[in-house]
């Protein structure tokens, strides 16, 4: 005997009607969850590596993108994303400042080789100095330490 279930439309309608009223529960749950999130995410590093190293990860990724489709991207980014853009930028100011500061400090500490005439291959040494310093800084900041 088949299992009787509601239609996807009925489930989605109830979800869309009831879930927005649960914002207070969400806020309370998030406030104390930072340490649990951090510990769980760090503990799952091996699972993350295995997942992104899987032989079929490229196909799974492409399939997920294809399933979502361009229309969903435009609808979500143009609708919800556009509505939340300004507030998100304002809310993210301190995070942006803290995130960019080490890179700006790194750039400020670089002594560039002397500039050569336009088109000179030796000018690439100037670019290389910045690129290498930023690469080292990024790796130092992104490598998890305990």
**Average pLDDT rounded to a whole number, residues 102-124:** 95
100 burial via Cβ count (<10 Å: 0-12, 13-18, 19+): exposed
Average pLDDT value for residue range 28-54: 94
Mean pLDDT of 31-39: 94
Average pLDDT taken over every residue of the chain: 94
The predicted model gives 7-16 an average pLDDT of: 94
For the cut 80, the answer to whether the pLDDT of residue 146 exceeds it is no
Contact 125, 113 (CB under 8 A): yes
pTM, two decimals, is 0.71
Is the per-residue pLDDT at 132 higher than 60? yes
- Mean per-residue pLDDT, 102-114: 96
Q: Is there a contact between 122 and 113 (Cβ–Cβ < 8 Å)?
A: yes
**pLDDT confidence of residue 15:** 92
Which segments within 2-146 are labelled E, that is strand? none
d(CA 71, CA 10): 23
Q: What are phi and psi of 109, to 5 degrees?
A: -90, -5
Provide the pLDDT for residue 143: 86
The pLDDT of residue 145 is above 80: no
CA atoms within 13 A on the CB side of 120: 10
């Amino acid at each position: 005997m088949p299992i009787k279930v509601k239609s996807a439309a009925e489930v989605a309608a109830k979800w869309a009607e009831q879930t927005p009223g649960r914002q207070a529960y969400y806020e309370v749950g998030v406030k104390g969850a930072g340490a649990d999130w951090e510990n769980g995410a760090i503990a799952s590093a091996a699972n993350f590596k295995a997942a992104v190293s899987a032989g079929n990860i490229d196909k799974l990724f492409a399939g997920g993108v294809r399933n979502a489709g361009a229309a969903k991207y435009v609808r979500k980014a143009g609708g919800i994303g556009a509505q939340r853009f300004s507030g998100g930028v304002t809310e993210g100011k301190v995070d942006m400042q803290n995130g960019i500061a080490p890179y700006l400090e790194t750039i400020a500490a670089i002594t560039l080789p002397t500039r050569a005439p336009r088109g000179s291959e030796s000018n690439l040494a100037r670019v290389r100095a910045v690129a290498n310093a930023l690469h080292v800084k990024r790796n130092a900041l992104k490598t998890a330490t305990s």
